[in-house]
Structure 1
Amino acid sequence: MAVILNQKKSTCPDWDSVPPELLYLITRKLSDLPDFFNFRAVCRSWRSSVPISDLPPQKCPLILEEHDKLFLPDHLRFFSLSTGKVFMLPFPNQLMAQEWMGPTLDGYLHVGQYPRTNKWLFNPLTHHQVLLPSLDDSRLPRHLLQRSGDYVISCGVGFDRPSLALFRLSNKKWNIGKLGRHFTNTCICVNGMFFSYDRLEGKTKIVEIATGDLISVVPSPMEELQEFVWLVESFGDILMVVSLESRTRTTNNHYDFGIYKLKVDFDNANHNPCWVQTESIGDRVLFICGKTGISFQAGQFHGMVGNCIYIKKLLAIDGSIICRYSIEDGGIEKIPCPFNDWHIFVPSLQYLNTSGSE
Structure 2
Amino acid sequence: MVEEKEATIETETERNWADLLPELFPLILKNLCDISDFIRYRAVCKTWCLSSSISDLPPQFPWIVKVSEGPNLEFYSIALKKLYTIRSRCSSDKSLLGSTGSYMLTKQYGKPDSYSLLNPVSNSEVPLPVLHVCNLIWFPRMFTWYNPLSFQRDDYVFNTEMERLDGCKLDDDRWNIIRAGGRGSQYRCYYFKDLFFRVDSYNEFTKVMDSSSHKELYDIPPPKYKKTYEKSLRGPYLVESCGEILSVSHNHSYEWTNFKFSIHRLEFGNGKRNPCWVELSSIGDRILFFEITETFGRGFSLRVSDFTEFKGNCIYFINRLQALQSGYLHMYDIENSKTILIDTPFAPFDLKNHINHITWFMPTLKLI
Q: What TM bracket, shorter-length normalisation? A: 0.7 to 0.9
**In structure 2, distance between residues paired with 1:271 and 1:301:** 38
Partner of 2:149: none
Q: How does 1:206-285 map onto structure 2 within 5 Å?
A: 206-222=208-224, 226-245=233-252, 249=253, 252-265=256-269, 268-285=270-287
Alignment match of 2:100 (pick from 94, 104, 114): 104
Q: State yes or no: 1:31 paired with 2:29.
A: no
Which residue is equivalent to 1:306? 312
- Could you list the runs of 5+ residues in structure 1 that have no partner in the other structure? 353-358
Q: Which residue of 2 aligns with 1:145?
A: 143
Question: In 2, Cα distance between the equivalents of 1:213 and 1:350?
Answer: 34
Q: Would you say how many aligned residue pairs link Structure 1 and Structure 2? A: 335
What does the per-residue CA deviation read over 1:76-126, in whole Å, with 9 as the maximum and x for residues that have no partner?
Answer: 3322111112234442245x5223332233x33322259942212333344
TM-score, normalised relative to structure 1: 0.78
C-alpha RMSD of the superposition: 3.4
* Deviation (angstroms), 1:195: 2.5
Residues 204 and 222, structure 2, Cα contact 8 Å, conserved in 1: yes
The residue that corresponds to 1:193 in the other structure is: 195
Offset of residue 348 of structure 1: 4.3
Identity percentage over the alignment?
26
Deviation at 1:182, TM superposition (A): 6.4
Tell me how far apart the structure 1 counterparts of residues 365 and 142 of structure 2 sit (CA, whole Å). Answer: 21
* 8 Å CA contact retained: 1:74, 1:91: yes
Note the C-alpha offset of 1:230.
1.9
**TM superposition shift of 1:169:** 3.7
- Could you tell me how far apart the structure 2 residues matched to 1:337 and 1:185 are? 33
- Is the contact made by 2:205 and 2:221 (CA closer than 8 Å) also made in structure 1? yes
Q: How far off its partner does 1:139 sit? A: 8.5
- Partner of residue 76, structure 1: 73
CA separation in 2, counterparts of 1:66 and 1:52?
A: 30
Q: Secondary structure at the match of 1:294?
A: strand
Name the aligned partner's letter for residue 98 of structure 2: G
Greater helix content: 2
CA distance in 1, matches of 2:221, 2:95: 38
| 1:206-265, Cα deviation, whole Å (9 max, x unpaired) | 2222232222121101366942332111111111111033xxx26521111111111115
User: TM-score when scaled to structure 2?
Assistant: 0.77
Matches within 5 A, 1:116-131: 116-126=112-122, 127-131=124-128
- Unmatched segments (≥5 aa) in structure 2: 147-152, 347-355
Distance in 2, Cα, partners of 1:271 & 1:139: 40
Report the Cα distance in structure 2 between the residues aligned to 1:137 and 1:192, rounded to whole angstroms. 21
Q: Is the alpha carbon distance of 1:23 and 1:64 closer, same or farther for their aligned partners in structure 2, counting shifts above 3 Å?
A: farther
